[in-house]
Amino acid sequence: MNEAQIWTYVLVALTFGLYIGIAIWSRAGSTKEFYVAGGGVSPLANGMATAADWMSAASFISMAGIISFAGYDGSVYLMGWTGGYVLLALLLAPYLRKFGKFTVPDFIGERYYSKTARIVAVICALIVSFTYVAGQMRGVGIVFSRYLEVDIETGVIIGMVIVLFYAVLGGMKGITYTQVAQYCVLIFAFMVPAIFISIQMTGNPIPQMGMGGTVTDGSGMYLLDKLDGLSTELGFNEYTNGSKSWIDVFAITFALMVGTAGLPHVIVRFFTVKRVKDARKSAGLALLLIAILYTTAPAVAVFARTNLIETVSNKEYANMPEWFKNWETTGLIGHNDKNGDGIIQYVADPKINELTVDRDIMVLANPEIANLPAWVIGLIAAGGLAAALSTAAGLLLVISSSVSHDLIKNVIKPDISEKGELWAARGAATVAVVIAGLFGIYPPGFVAAVVALAFGLAAASFFPAIILGIFYKKMNSKGAIAGMIVGITFMLFYMLKFKFGIFDGGKAAVEGLKASWWFGISPEGFGTIAMLANFIVALAVNAVTEEPPQEVQDIVENIRIPSGAGEAASH
């Protein structure tokens, strides 16, 4: 066993011991503790937990990987996810907190005074959450497969067991305090290698500035100019120039933004604080904490891409460093010597190119490519797992509360005891973990692409219902239900058709289907169109049906009044 592996085992064991210890210490004894941590979490703890919940495997593992391959085009993920969080913090969090319900389906069921609306919202929450959690379990599998030297399937199963333990035992109370620890681990693990590599490549310890600085080889060349040159030599687009159409950039950014504002596992975090004022504070703190990683990710992408090209392109396969062979055993990087010369041809032309790289390895492999100390390699493994597990736990809680609280307690069996509801929540979480694990073993794509689809689904289903529910008191249940059904159906159809080729010859045909995208918009951006369809249908149906009851209109009027907003309505 080499030094890096020993460090990985030690750091992963220590962090997992910490998470499980916290779960045991803070285990939930009531449904309120299980769903919203008893409603007494401090703004700072909630801000850190929200940041960990928000920065999933997609943010930690996959976002810099996407940017490193897509260059300028990858910035849509940065803009969409960051802008979406601002939208959520300003437009939705305080009002939802004042409404005082546990879950998004709970809000929709009560605001639209309808069991049907609640059931539709539960179905949407389950579709969004399972799509999202697939990406997280895949991330866990990738980290375990490399560092524990097991296959991805075994890695996913190990992750399932750990997540099940602290999500099912601790509920939101256990998850919240575990996520505080996970935020500390993941941000430290992301920043340390970034600072090391920034000093190594540019002499600047601040990665954000190093990315725009000059390289340390004495040439005086700017790092981005160097990467542009390396990219064009290999036939790729200039790294700093985009190739996506403006309409697709706009659609993806907007879908990610409004999808954020409709994500059930992020929204539920604002129900865990005591007051509306605390919801605002924790949203602001979370934004600052998230910004640390989000402003560093483009720099990590640039460092990783430059190092990969310089290490691998036109080099002899026999002389590849150890990291290449290590990752090759996971199947996430591969070499097919087409011309038999023993040299790796890494070029844009697929007929000549001999290297395949899974984007999801770029952040994880970066410290090894840059030859950093063994403890840094172990640290990045612990950070990747913290990111994936924190979000997976939050999503599993949404799934279990949707089933136990929104379906069983509010629709199927209203007289269920609190103990019975708690057991139903734990049972639902267990089933959800198994399904999530299957998605991780048979993933529909790389981590960030799967997660982007979840945002599109959230934008298409929840965002219009929540916005109209808060800001338009005359919005009725029939309009909201029709809008949600049309929005999510439209998005699912487009996703299955153009992302998975379900109606047109399967996954092999997906590349050829790009030419027939509607309005030139990719599946990742189609949530914007589906969301507009939701708004149009909801308002049209609302216009020809009866107004909501006066007491519902009064509640909506009340949740927008800031005066006396110190204490929120209790559940």
Does 100 have pLDDT greater than 80?
A: no
Length of the chain equals 571
Average pLDDT over residues 117-125: 89
CATH topology of domain 11-444: Sodium/glucose cotransporter (1.20.1730)
- Tens digits of residue pLDDT in 419-442: 888 788 888 888 888 888 887 787
β-bridge mates for residue 567, sequence order: 275
Q: Which residues contact 268 (CB under 8 A, 6 or more apart)?
A: 35, 36, 102, 103, 104, 172, 394, 397, 398, 401
Mean pLDDT across 55-76: 83
CA-closest candidate to residue 290, choices 67, 80, 50: 50
Is pLDDT above 90 for 484? Answer: yes
Q: What stretch of H or E contains 335?
A: strand 333-335
β-pair partners for 187: none
Tokens of 360: 């999801």
Residue 568 has pLDDT above 50, yes or no: no
Could you give the CA distance from residue 297 to residue 363 in angstroms, rounded to a whole number?
9
Top-confidence residue, 10 or 41: 10
Dihedral angle, C-alpha 143, 146, 152, 158, nearest 10 °: -60
pLDDT score for 6: 86
What pLDDT is recorded for position 449?
Answer: 64
Of the ranges 132-146, 220-234, 247-261, 354-368, which one carries the lowest mean pLDDT score?
132-146
Asked if the model's pLDDT at residue 447 lies above 60, the reply is: no
Residue 31: is its pLDDT beyond 70?
no
Region 131-136 average pLDDT: 77
Please give the share of the chain, as a percent, with pLDDT higher than 90: 20
As a whole number of angstroms, the distance between CA 296 and CA 360 comes to 17
Cβ atoms of 229 and 316 closer than 8 Å: no
Instruction: Choose among 454, 441, 447: nearest CA to 62.
Output: 447
Residue with tokens 């599946």: 523
Express each pLDDT in 285-295 by its tens digit: 888 898 898 89
Q: Mean per-residue pLDDT for 197-203?
A: 93
* SS3 assignment for 347-392: CCCCCCCCEEECHHHHHHHHHHHCCCCHHHHHHHHHHHHHHHHHHH
Q: What is the pTM of this model?
A: 0.81
pLDDT of residue 77: 84
Q: Which of 31, 566, 530 is nearest to 255 (CA)?
A: 530
Please give the distance of CA 326 from its chain centroid, rounded to a whole number. Answer: 27
The arithmetic mean of pLDDT across residues 142-148, rounded, is: 77
